[in-house]
Amino acid sequence: MSSSTRKLAIGALIALLGSGVHAAEITLKAVSAFGQDTFFNQRFKTFVEKVNREGKGIVKIQVVGGPESIPPLEVGNAVRAGVVDFANTTGVFHATLVPEAIAGSLAEKPIAELRANGGHALLDRIHREKGNMVWLARVSDGLQYHIYANKKVSGGDFSGLKLRSVPVYRAFFQSLGATPLQVPPGEVFTALERGVVDGYGWPSVGIFDLGWQEKTKYRIEPGFYNVEVGFYMNQNTWKKLDDAQRAFLEKQVAWVESHNVDDLAAADAEKARQTAANIETLPIPAEQAAQFRSRAYEAGWKGIEQASPQHVAKLRELFGSGR
């Protein structure tokens, strides 16, 4: 190569490096743990549409399936292993991988405060270390779980009831004297119909999506915990993104989290709809309601303490009420 040719090649390389060219558009394979038309899938759908509309040349999200392709309790493993890059799911479903993820459901502070006080950063770091995943966003914040039943309970006495459960409130249900049973959402209707369970734990929204209102007579008040649904990414995929791609996704995350304020209105509308469907509100007497909620949180934090004694104190400080 002549001297002049070498100079031209070097000049072209310098021009390319100085042009700010970033990596080619990346396609993220995504899955949702929730059915296509269910409440907890709606914000994810809107997010995907917005990212794909505004992220041309930067990031594209390709939704490859829902719970029919990967069972909800296996989504965390799929993200960890890189089978998918991105998931709309809940830490409740991957608590076997990251037991500390339950702290998201015990949070008594909104995600904005958790980002400011270091709570999000801590739980994100634990997810990276234990689950090879990044906690990217929280897209449900302020909704509560409730106990729904087709048998009337008196004075907060749940002894003898068989309740569909998941790990986040299994210990709490046991402390109430109920028998918790793990039943996949797709099988709950049949379990209620056949008397396999007498009720179930579920958020204040979403039972109509699954048709469970047909087999539900009562919703117990008060509710408990803070329903956590979020976006999780494979850590290796996250590391492959360039600065522009990460900045773009972080901007979209800020946008989607700003819509969490809509959750309480959605819960009020859902409860009105439940009343219209003849689901009776069954309040626990005031003197026992405080004990009911206290027992819920003590059981939840005790479970994290048993699985993660090294992290529980800091998580409770950052996520809890501070009382």
In the numeric block, which tokens belong to residue 60?
């594209």
Q: What is the DSSP letter of 17?
A: H
Q: What is the DSSP letter of 59?
A: E
pLDDT band per the 50, 70, 90 thresholds, residue 155: confident
In the numeric block, which tokens belong to residue 276?
């219209």
In the numeric block, which tokens belong to residue 46?
């809107």
With H, G, I as helix, E, B as strand and everything else as coil, classify residue 320.
coil
Give the pLDDT confidence score for residue 58 in this predicted structure: 98
Q: How many residues does the chain have?
A: 323
Give the pLDDT confidence score for residue 59 in this predicted structure: 98
Return d(Cα 190, Cα 217) in angstroms, integer. 16
Please compute, for residue 141, the number of CA atoms within 13 A of its CA located in the half-sphere on the CB side.
21
DSSP string, 263-278: HHHHHHHHHHHHHHTT
pLDDT band per the 50, 70, 90 thresholds, residue 16: very low
Neighbours of 108 (CB within 10 A): 14
Give the pLDDT confidence score for residue 74 in this predicted structure: 96
Radius of gyration of the chain (CA): 23
Return d(Cα 9, Cα 93) in angstroms, integer. 54
Judge whether residue 85 has pLDDT over 70. Answer: yes
Contact 137, 114 (CB under 8 A): no
Residues 6+ apart with CB under 8 A from 122: 311, 314, 315, 318
Question: If you average pLDDT over residues 142-166, what whole number do you get?
Answer: 92
Give the pLDDT confidence score for residue 130 in this predicted structure: 98
Q: Which residue has the higher pLDDT, 90 or 182?
A: 90
Give the pLDDT confidence score for residue 242 in this predicted structure: 97
Contact 31, 46 (CB under 8 A): no
Mean predicted lDDT score pLDDT of the chain:
92
- CA 101 centroid distance within chain: 9
pLDDT band per the 50, 70, 90 thresholds, residue 196: very high
Nearest to 311 by CA among 124, 135, 175: 124
Question: If you average pLDDT over residues 87-92, what whole number do you get?
Answer: 96
pLDDT band per the 50, 70, 90 thresholds, residue 2: low
pLDDT band per the 50, 70, 90 thresholds, residue 322: low
pLDDT digits over 220-260, tens only? Answer: 999 999 999 999 999 999 999 999 999 999 999 999 999 99
Question: If you average pLDDT over residues 58-82, what whole number do you get?
Answer: 96
Question: If you average pLDDT over residues 207-215, what whole number do you get?
Answer: 94
Question: If you average pLDDT over residues 119-138, what whole number do you get?
Answer: 98
pLDDT band per the 50, 70, 90 thresholds, residue 23: low
Nearest to 206 by CA among 299, 270, 272, 276: 270
Give the pLDDT confidence score for residue 14 in this predicted structure: 40
CA dihedral defined by 283, 211, 267, 274, rounded to 10 degrees? -50
Residue type, 31: V
Give the pLDDT confidence score for residue 9 in this predicted structure: 47
What pTM was computed for the model? Answer: 0.88
Question: Measured in Å, how far apart are the chain's first and last C-alpha atoms?
Answer: 74
pLDDT band per the 50, 70, 90 thresholds, residue 165: very high
Contact 120, 104 (CB under 8 A): no
Return d(Cα 291, Cα 185) in angstroms, integer. 29
